[in-house]
Amino acid sequence: MLILGLESSCDDCSAAVIEETATGPKLLSLVRKSQDDLHGPFGGVVPELAAREHLLQIHGVIAEALRQAGLEASRLDRIAATQGPGLVGCLLTSFSAGKALAWRYGIPFVPVHHLFGHLNAARFEAPALPFPALVLLVSGGHTHLYVSTGWTNLTLLQKTRDDAAGEAFDKTARMLGLGYPGGPLVDACARRAAAPAPKFTPPKFRDGTASWSFSGLKTGMKLRIAAEPGLGEAGAEDPRVQALCRSLQDAISKWLLEPIPAWAERTGAKSLVISGGVACNSKLREEATILAGRLGLELGIPAPKFCTDNGAMIAAAGALLPPSELPLELNADADLPLPLPMG
C-alpha cells in the first residue's frame, strides 16, 4: 500500500511517501521545508506568518515528495493528513490539500491525530514493538505520558501542568542568545561543557498528582543569567553558557524519565516509546537507553528525522487508521481530542 502523508500543524511543511509492507513501513521519500529563518527573529513561531508560508510551500513539497518516490499521484492507495491539534491556519493548508488531491484522484483519505503520528514514527525503527507500551510524547507543545495497547490508541497517564519541555529549551536558547529553534542549539552547547553548572531544583507538588512542571526552569534560568552580568550575550563559546545548558538538559532528561519505572510496573509495560522533537535530545536518548535496559523494556525512539514533525509519521499512522467515509465534510481542528481507546 502506497501512502502520501502530509503535515503542517506548526512550522514544518512536510510530505512523505511510504510503502506499508507486511513487515512495517518503508520510507520512499520525505520532504520537509523548515521556516526557521522566518520565525528566528521573533524567537518563536508566529502563527499567521507560518500559515501564509505553508500556502506558498505545500504544492512544491507534495510535488517533490512524489518525484523523489518516483510516483504519479494517481498511483497512491491512500492520502493521510494531520487533522489536529495544532495551529488552525497551519493545519488547514495540508489538510485541505490532502482532501483536494484525494477527491481529484478518487483516493481514500485518512484524517490523522498528530499524536498518533508521533507514536507511529517509532514503527520505522521498531515495527514489531511489544505492547503495552509507555509512550512519552515530548515536543514544543506536548509533554505527555501515555500507555498504549497498540499503534492507534493512547491513554493519558500524566502530563505537564504548564510548559512543554521543548518550551524550556527554546526559551533558554532565547535568553542565552543562542538562536532558534533552541533545542538542538542547547543540546550542541551542552555537549561542549566540561562540567554542569549547579543543579536546578525539581518542582514539588503538594497534591501528590503525577505530573511535570517546566515553567520554573525558565525562571531559574532567568535568575542565573541575571546574576552574571554579560552572560546573556556571551554566546555558545563561553564555558559558563555551556555549563548552564548542560544543567538544563540534565534536569529535563532526569525529570522526564523519573516517573517511568513506577508507571512501567503499574501498567505492565513491555516497551518505551519516546517521540516528538525533544526526543532528538542526545542526553535524553542516552539516559532512556540506560533506563530501558535496566527495566527490561524494549525501546522505540525514532531516528531524529522522524522525531520532529514530518509527513512520514502521518503516513505511517494513516496506514493503520480507517479512511474517512465523508472526507469533504471534515475540517481541521486546533483542539482535536484523541479518540477514546476501543475495548
Q: Answer yes or no whether residue 7 interacts with Zn ion by CB under 5 A.
A: no
- The length of the chain in residues reads 343
End-to-end, the C-alpha distance of the chain in Å comes to 27
Nearest approach, Cβ of 204 to Zn ion (angstroms)? 29
Taking the least distance from each CB to ligand KG4, the nearer of 151 and 169 is 169
The whole-angstrom separation of Cα 203 and Cα 32 is: 37
Nearest approach, Cβ of 283 to ligand KG4 (angstroms)? 8
Q: Answer yes or no whether residue 250 interacts with ligand KG4 by CB under 6 A.
A: no
Residues 52-81 that bind ligand KG4 (CB under 6 A): none
Taking the least distance from each CB to ligand KG4, the nearer of 25 and 276 is 276
* Placement of cell 525529570 in the chain: 255
Nearest approach, Cβ of 290 to Zn ion (angstroms)? 25
- Whether the Cβ atoms of residue 171 and residue 311 lie closer than 8 Å to each other: no
* Cβ density class 251-284: b for 16+ within 10 Å, e for less: bbbebbbebbeebbeebebebbbbbbbbbbbebb
Q: Which of Zn ion, ligand KG4, none sits in contact with 181, Cβ below 5 to 8 A by type?
A: ligand KG4
Q: Answer yes or no whether residue 309 interacts with Zn ion by CB under 5 A.
A: yes
- Whether the Cβ atoms of residue 283 and residue 249 lie closer than 8 Å to each other: yes
Q: Answer yes or no whether residue 184 interacts with ligand KG4 by CB under 6 A.
A: yes
Q: Answer yes or no whether residue 139 interacts with Zn ion by CB under 5 A.
A: yes
- Whether the Cβ atoms of residue 203 and residue 254 lie closer than 8 Å to each other: no
Q: Answer yes or no whether residue 245 interacts with ligand KG4 by CB under 6 A.
A: no
The footprint of ligand KG4 (CB under 6 A) covers 10, 139-141, 166, 169-170, 181-184, 187, 276-278, 280-281, 308-309
